[in-house]
Amino acid sequence: MHETPPPTERRTRKRLTADDWADAALAALAERGLAAVAVEPLATRLGTTKGSFYWHFSNRDALVEAALARWEELSTERIISAMEAAEPDPAARLGALLRAATASAAEGPLEVQLLAASDHPMVTAALARVTERRVGYLAHLFELLGFPPPEARRRGILAYTSFVGHAQLAHAVPGSVPTDPAYLATVTAALVTR
């Protein structure tokens, strides 16, 4: 049986948003995979009840969908927007993007866990959208660097698969791939060399 918190505690407790639940779902997914996205453990993690969950979502699938949309927004759209705003030079933007993506992948296993869950229809759809958006953006950068569209697309795919492989190896065999600036500069130089 749960005790009702005192009135002052109820007033000071932050009201959770759908994004809070989606962020918690992404954290659980990164830690233990898609199966870890479950209402009761997430409620415990957030210090709330299942009632809060049902205020925002009709079921677990709705939460998974929201978490995937949040991942798309935070890990793709916001990063692209930030790169566009921060760096006018496409070559420097490409290098900064590869450094940021590599560092992010090394810090957390979310991308790897999502790839491992690619047999789930919602994850498959999200991965397809994100892959197309990321490859398309990379191809755009290569076009800005003077590569014709078909070659720019091939280089965009090469850059993205390099990132995915780097992320996979960094988590499967820690320490097997370098993350130092010299290595990343070599990767960037190889990608932009004609």
The domains of the chain are located at: 7-192
Weakest mean pLDDT among 79-88, 144-153, 170-179: 170-179
Residue 163 and residue 100: Cα distance in Å, rounded?
11
| Superfamily of domain 7-192, CATH level 4 | Tetracycline Repressor, domain 2 (1.10.357.10)
| Closest residue by Cα to residue 112 from 164, 173, 35 | 164
* pLDDT at residue 181 greater than cutoff 90: no
Per-residue confidence (pLDDT) for residue 2, from 0 to 100: 45
Which tokens belong to 139? 């191809």
Per-residue confidence (pLDDT) for residue 24, from 0 to 100: 97
Per-residue confidence (pLDDT) for residue 70, from 0 to 100: 98
Where residue 35 falls among pLDDT bands split at 50, 70, 90? very high
Residue 83 and residue 191: Cα distance in Å, rounded?
18
Per-residue confidence (pLDDT) for residue 9, from 0 to 100: 45
Residue 100 and residue 58: Cα distance in Å, rounded?
35
Helices 60-72 and 121-144 pack at an angle, to 10 degrees, of 10
Q: Exposure string (b/e) for 35-52, b if CB count within 10 Å is 16 or more? A: eebebeebbeebebeeeb
Per-residue confidence (pLDDT) for residue 13, from 0 to 100: 59
* pLDDT at residue 44 greater than cutoff 90: yes
* pLDDT at residue 11 greater than cutoff 70: no
* pLDDT at residue 128 greater than cutoff 70: yes
Which tokens belong to 159? 């850059």
Per-residue confidence (pLDDT) for residue 12, from 0 to 100: 46
CB atoms within 10 A of CB 111: 22
Q: What percent of the chain is predicted at pLDDT more than 90?
A: 73
Where residue 6 falls among pLDDT bands split at 50, 70, 90? low
- The alpha carbon dihedral of 192, 140, 162, 73 has a sign of positive
Which tokens belong to 188? 């960037």
